[in-house]
Amino acid sequence: MKNFVVVCLLVLVAAVPACAQGSQAEPRRLVEDPQRSNSESAFTLAERFGEADQLERTFFVFSTSVAKYILRHDGFGEVTSHAGLRRVFSVKVGARERVERVYSMEYEGDLLLLYQASETGYLVRLSQKTRKVKAVLTVSADFTPPVLKDHRLVFSDGAVVSLN
């Protein structure tokens, strides 16, 4: 656990200057925007840190309006609130699987995580207040981020996931 905290701190130290430069960018949209193109996804790709050839040393860093997140390759992560309070959370990853890419989006106060773990894709709805997983769905591993339409996620392969 100490090693995890040390590595997380190192990643945060590396990420702070990058976040400070990006803070002047347009804020992330939290609700569906009618002006948005029908083919543009509301999901944002998480920044990946670590060695490209060694998945066991990979971290994904992203933030929401509520907190900053770090997700480790094995599905364990840490949430740091804007007040500085740190908590851990975990998402589903199969045996011997490694998280390879992560997309995030806020929806009605919850965090939607779309990620690929080896040969499987997952869509997780996580409460940002309690850090508890509300729902887990398996999706195709070769997914492209879906489009949000009428409280539903529409994937490019035709799959539709209702968010209500």
Strand order across the beta sheet in which 133-139 lies: 44-45, 99-107, 110-117, 120-127, 133-139
Domain extents for the chain? 2-22+40-162
pLDDT at position 26 is 37
pLDDT tens-digit profile of 47-94?
Answer: 999 876 666 789 999 999 999 999 999 999 999 999 999 999 999 998
Q: What is the pTM of this model?
A: 0.74
| The CATH number of domain 2-22+40-162, selected from 2.20.28, 3.30.530, 1.10.150, 2.40.128 | 2.40.128
Cα separations (Å) of 30 from 34, 47, 106, 137, 141? Answer: 12, 19, 6, 21, 25
pLDDT at position 41 is 87
DSSP count for the chain of H helices, then E strands? 1, 13
pLDDT at position 63 is 96
pLDDT at position 111 is 96
Helices (H), the chain: 2-22
Tell me the C-alpha distance between 61 and 103, whole Å: 10
pLDDT at position 106 is 96
pLDDT-flagged residues of the chain (< 50): 5-37
Residue found by looking up tokens 């050839």 in the block: 53
pLDDT at position 135 is 94
